[in-house]
């Protein structure tokens, strides 16, 4: 489990089919093989680990064809910056919302507009996920926990403050960019319970 609070921006250092090597500032001594790390919102398992000269590490992850097809990972290339978050521990502050790292679909940015020091983004998600997006609710996009500002059908808006832009890869994102989207876990279960009650 994760919180959607990004703790590092990693860089794709190598690709080989369904295997990626990611460079990170995380110290190798703090990560064990088998650890879960959310990479642009996808929960991936560390399969290889090596310390780096700068005090960080490079870690390897294996990705299934299903994940490549249902997320943005199929577009990853060497040099791409990705949001990283290590798994939640019981002593961590829950600053965002509960995120599983299981991507539901790919959303697309429709527009990017400066709003003072902040930036407003309008996105569009697949129609089948629109019911899970609510004004003032939460959504994880590329692993970042964000508050939904407005909703109109499958379109919705979020507002990123300067800190979020600086500490994540959202500074790179422009209209047309694809994002890994995970809907709020509570919204999913409420919808399921409501559907069962109607049957």
Q: Which domains does the chain have, with CATH numbers?
A: 8-86 (2.40.30.20), 105-198 (2.40.30.20)
Structure tokens at 19: 């295997």
Q: Average pLDDT, stretch 180-199? A: 86
Task: Name beta bridge partners: 61.
Answer: 20, 46
Q: How many CB atoms neighbour CB 75 within 10 A?
A: 10
Would the pTM count as exceeding 0.85?
yes
Under the banding of pLDDT at 50, 70 and 90, the label for residue 198 is confident
Q: Given the structure tokens 């959310």, which residue do they identify?
A: 38
Summarised one tens digit per residue, pLDDT across range 121-158 is: 999 999 999 999 999 999 999 999 999 999 999 999 99
Helical spans, DSSP H, in 65-148: 65-70
Question: Tens of pLDDT along 10-20?
Answer: 999 999 989 99
Question: Which residue matches tokens 């064809």?
Answer: 65
Torsion of CA 8, 18, 45, 66, to 10 degrees: 110
Spatial separation of the C-alpha atoms in residues 12 and 199, rounded to whole Å = 47
Asked if pLDDT for residue 189 goes beyond 90, the answer is: no
Does residue 38 contact residue 143 with C-beta atoms inside 8 Å?
Answer: yes
Q: How many CB atoms lie within 10 A of CB 18?
A: 14
Please give the pLDDT value at position 80: 98
- CA 183 to the chain's CA centroid: 11
Tokens of 23: 């460079």
The angle at the Cα of 60, spanning 56 to 63, to the nearest 5 degrees, equals: 140
Q: Say which DSSP state 192 is in.
A: H
């Amino acid at each position: 489990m994760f919180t959607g609070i990004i703790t590092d921006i990693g860089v794709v250092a190598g690709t080989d089919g369904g295997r990626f090597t990611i460079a990170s500032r995380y110290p190798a001594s703090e990560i064990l093989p088998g650890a879960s790390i959310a990479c642009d919102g996808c929960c991936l398992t560390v399969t290889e680990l090596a310390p780096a000269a700068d005090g960080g590490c490079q870690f390897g992850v294996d990705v299934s064809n299903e994940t490549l097809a249902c997320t943005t990972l199929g577009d990853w290339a060497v040099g791409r910056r990705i949001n990283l978050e290590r798994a939640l521990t019981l002593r961590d502050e829950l600053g965002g919302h509960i995120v599983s790292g299981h991507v539901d679909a790919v959303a697309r940015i429709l527009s990017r507009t400066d709003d003072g020091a902040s930036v407003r983004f309008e996105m569009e998600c697949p129609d089948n996920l629109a019911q899970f997006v609510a004004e003032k609710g939460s959504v994880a996009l590329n692993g970042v926990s964000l508050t939904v500002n407005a909703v109109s059908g499958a379109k919705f808006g979020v507002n990123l403050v300067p800190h979020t832009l600086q500490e994540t890869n959202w500074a790179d994102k422009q209209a047309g960019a694809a994002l890994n989207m995970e809907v709020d876990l509570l919204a999913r279960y409420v919808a399921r319970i409501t559907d069962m009650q109607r049957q």
